[in-house]
Amino acid sequence: MCHFIRRLALLGAIVLAFGLLMPTQAIAQEESPFSAEELAYIQNADTLKIGYVQDRIPVSFQDENGELAGISRYIFDRISKLSGLSFQYVPLPGGAVTYDYLMGEGFDLVTSVEYNKENLEANGILISQPYLSSNKVIVSRADFSFSYSAQQTVAVSSGSQTVRKVLREAFPNFTLKDYDTIGDCFSAVDSGDADMMLLNQYVVEYWLYKPAYENLKVIPALGFDDQLCFSAVIPFGEKENADARKEGQLLISILNKSIEMLEEDEVDSYTIQAIMENRYQFTIGDFLYRYRYALIVLAAAAMLILLLAVLLFRQRLQAAEERADARARDRFLSSMSHEIRTPLNGLIGLNYLMSRRAEDKQQLSRYLNQSTLTAQYLLSLVNDMLDMSMLRKGKVTLEKKPVDLDLLVSTAASIVERRMEEHGLAFSIQGSFSYPVVVGDGFRIQQILLNLLDNAEKFTPEGGKVTLSLGQELTEENAVRTWMEVADTGKGMSEAFQGKIFDSFAQEQDTVSKGDQGVGLGLPISYRLAKLMGGELTFSSKAGEGSVFTFSFEAEAADRKQKQESDPTENTWENKRILVAEDNELNAEIMLDLLEECGCRADHAPNGQRALELFEASAEGYYNVILMDLLMPVLNGYEAARAIRALKRSDAASVRIIACSANCTEQDRERAFHSGMDDFIEKPIEMEELLQKIGG
């Protein structure tokens, strides 16, 4: 197809330079091709209202100024000069357009109508000779084996009813599947929801420049021409208006004669010019698609840096108020600076390497994995600081759900086992649970266990050993007392340091840490969480011999059936229609791509006012969920939510509105719920959590 364009480009250059004036000059020297009756019609005709299809780039579409553009516009303007008729171009709505709609809106003509038997015999329309002839082609995935005789699923846009009729007649064994737009058809073929689609060759070439469709191919569609013509809209039925029908016939005759005056080279030049002017322009979305994984990691890192800066400032003030020891503050700031700068240096370096080696997929994948791990470490640092702040204020609430302790321990062990092996440590698990399912907060239990295992791995030199011991017993009150003991053969702790081990930001100096010093929050957080559970965290240690930490808690026994019933995993978000209200363009593009990859259908609003307008303009029940950022221009998320709830339509009260914000204090949550939102999710957003909320 690209060779075809190059050939046309050579022809077009010649035609544009020498040939465009010839038809006009010739006509001026000849008698008018129109009859007296046709000339009278032209003289008395008002501006004709022409409806055009607006999503067929480069054939017929609406440009950024709201005007008709493309090959059709050049041809129609030329026909207007040749005939003397005046045209007003009006876009048609998406989807199937009915006869009643065209009559009610006063359309005189409709363009991009296919010249075929069905339209020639249709009631209420008269069609012209074709003004543009090209071919249809088949679009399918590169790995798809096409066969005219096999069972195929064909994607058809809802406005292409003629194509539907032709396909049903030619291939009765094909299954036709409707989609709202041409873009939806391409997405369906690319995802495998449909096997193929049939479309104009110029339109296909435009869409296939999009990086997201790099896995699609084009197959010639033998016997399927794409001849586009005008359709005059006239009354029909028992009360048919004879005068209106005669006027329609005169109009079609004038158009046919004007079309006959168009030279083939002239139409070719219009085609080339429209294709060259309207080539697919790469968008930020295309860039994000190509480098989506790297950019997600970098965006997450940027958000984490901002969060860390705010939290560091707050923590510094709190440390200054709570601790008079200036040396302790200095050590904390030094440790925090080290913990932030080291991974940030790695992220910056990895970003540079990824930009230099973007074509090396294997190397890029390795850099992305390293970036993800680094970003996860920064996120864990932020979470630790938030946890400590919330624990100090008494605002941490524990869940009461069945917890599978066997699964919890095996998951934690799988996380640390590889690191211990890489650092030359022997790791083993001893003991078991008599009551493997208890009622408690599984996330917090695992958080404490991972903190203890991480410390043991971090401060045990190569050749050492780490042992995790497990056990349970029934108490006199028939509760289950569970303990998890982590013993290491590391350097141990001095007696002086043991007295302040559970103080925030406390770290013993001159310890072995394999380069990951940390900021001293893991043990204080674990200690406070254990107390909150009604349990305890104790230890024994001797310098030069190692340490033993024991975490114990009491809980009610449960059974595995309860655990299974409490963890539904059914996919309930696919095909949901989502409205994403987000003013940050990069965040919005990433969110839209992620949602579409997960099977959702997503639209974007750059502010709260636009979100309100899109919802108000949609059909009732169209949107299932609105993801609402809280801080946006024009209308913020709170105002937009209240305005949507106040609309007088049935789905205004029922559509789910989920707040998405980096402002995640209790006051922010309460304000979001008071404004009419149903749920709240914190940024940076975990996709699994978001999908659960969307499907909820």
> Residue 358: its pLDDT value, please?
67
* Higher pLDDT among residues 8 and 573, named by residue: 573
Average pLDDT, integer, range 246-250:
88
User: Does residue 5 surpass a pLDDT of 50?
Assistant: no
Sequential DSSP letters for 433-492: -SS-EEEE-HHHHHHHHHHHHHHHHHTS-TT-EEEEEEEEEE-TTSPEEEEEEEEE-S--
Measured in whole angstroms, how far is the alpha carbon of residue 634 from the centre of its chain?
24
> Residue 656: its pLDDT value, please?
93
> Residue 8: its pLDDT value, please?
44
> Residue 286: its pLDDT value, please?
65
Biggest alpha carbon distance in the chain?
A: 114
* The length of the chain, given as a count of residues: 696
Query: pLDDT digit string (tens) for 477-506?
Result: 888 999 999 999 988 887 777 776 776 555
Distance from C-alpha of 399 to C-alpha of 396, rounded to nearest angstrom? 10
Give the SS3 label for residue 431.
coil
User: Does residue 121 surpass a pLDDT of 80?
Assistant: no
User: Does residue 675 surpass a pLDDT of 90?
Assistant: yes
* Higher pLDDT among residues 70 and 11, named by residue: 70
> Residue 515: its pLDDT value, please?
43
Measured in whole angstroms, how far is the alpha carbon of residue 306 from the centre of its chain?
23
* Higher pLDDT among residues 328 and 591, named by residue: 591
User: Does residue 604 surpass a pLDDT of 80?
Assistant: yes
Query: Worst-scoring range by mean pLDDT, 4-13, 74-83, 117-126, 194-203?
Result: 4-13
User: Does residue 239 surpass a pLDDT of 90?
Assistant: no
> Residue 19: its pLDDT value, please?
45
- Residue 86 gets the label, from left (phi > 0), alpha (psi -120 to 50) or beta, of beta
> Residue 24: its pLDDT value, please?
41
> Residue 4: its pLDDT value, please?
42
Query: Measured between alpha carbons, how far is residue 628 from residues 542, 588, 653 in Å?
Result: 54, 11, 15
> Residue 21: its pLDDT value, please?
39
Mean pLDDT estimate for the chain: 79
Q: 416: burial class by Cβ within 10 Å (0-12, 13-18, 19+)?
A: buried
* Higher pLDDT among residues 512 and 455, named by residue: 455
| Pairing, β 426-430 against β 48-52 | unpaired
Query: Worst-scoring range by mean pLDDT, 158-162, 458-462, 572-576?
Result: 158-162
* Higher pLDDT among residues 260 and 25, named by residue: 260
Query: Worst-scoring range by mean pLDDT, 8-17, 78-87, 146-155, 336-345?
Result: 8-17
* Higher pLDDT among residues 212 and 293, named by residue: 212
Residues 6 or more apart whose Cβ sits within 8 Å of residue 544:
491, 492
Residue type present at position 550 = T
Query: pLDDT digit string (tens) for 253-276?
Result: 999 999 999 988 888 888 888 888
Angle between helices 242-261 and 36-44 (to 10 degrees): 100
Query: Worst-scoring range by mean pLDDT, 134-138, 180-184, 240-244?
Result: 240-244
> Residue 496: its pLDDT value, please?
72
Query: Measured between alpha carbons, how far is residue 184 from residues 145, 163, 415, 595 in Å?
Result: 22, 16, 41, 15
* Higher pLDDT among residues 327 and 355, named by residue: 355
User: Is the full-model pTM beyond 0.75?
Assistant: no
Query: pLDDT digit string (tens) for 530-542?
Result: 888 889 999 888 8
| pLDDT-based confidence at residue 551 (cuts at 50, 70, 90) | very high
DSSP conformational letter for 567: -
Query: pLDDT digit string (tens) for 336-385?
Result: 555 565 556 556 666 666 666 667 777 777 666 666 656 655 665 566 66
Query: pLDDT digit string (tens) for 270-315?
Result: 888 888 888 777 666 666 666 666 666 776 777 777 777 767 767 7
Provide the percentage of residues in the chain whose pLDDT is more than 70: 76
Distance from C-alpha of 376 to C-alpha of 686, rounded to nearest angstrom? 11
Query: Worst-scoring range by mean pLDDT, 190-199, 328-337, 451-460, 471-480?
Result: 328-337
Distance from C-alpha of 679 to C-alpha of 690, rounded to nearest angstrom? 10
> Residue 29: its pLDDT value, please?
40
- Most confident range, picked from 3-17, 358-372, 512-526, 586-600: 586-600
* Higher pLDDT among residues 605 and 560, named by residue: 605
Q: What per-residue string of b and e applies to 580-603 under the rule 16 or more CB within 10 Å gives b?
A: bbbbeeebbbbbbbbbeebebbbb
User: Does residue 509 surpass a pLDDT of 60?
Assistant: no
Alpha-carbon dihedral angle through residues 194, 199, 202, 206, given to the nearest 10 degrees: -20
Residues 6 or more apart whose Cβ sits within 8 Å of residue 117:
none
Distance from C-alpha of 501 to C-alpha of 254, rounded to nearest angstrom? 94
Distance from C-alpha of 351 to C-alpha of 622, rounded to nearest angstrom? 40
Distance from C-alpha of 457 to C-alpha of 475, rounded to nearest angstrom? 32
Give the SS3 label for residue 382.
helix
Query: Measured between alpha carbons, how far is residue 458 from residues 166, 522, 592 in Å?
Result: 70, 12, 40
Q: Is 660 in contact with 629 (CB distance < 8 Å)?
A: yes
Write down all domains in the chain, each with its CATH number in brackets: 2-133+226-277 (3.40.190.10), 134-225 (3.40.190.10), 286-392 (no CATH), 401-565 (3.30.565.10), 577-695 (3.40.50.2300)
* Higher pLDDT among residues 692 and 461, named by residue: 461
User: Does residue 18 surpass a pLDDT of 50?
Assistant: no
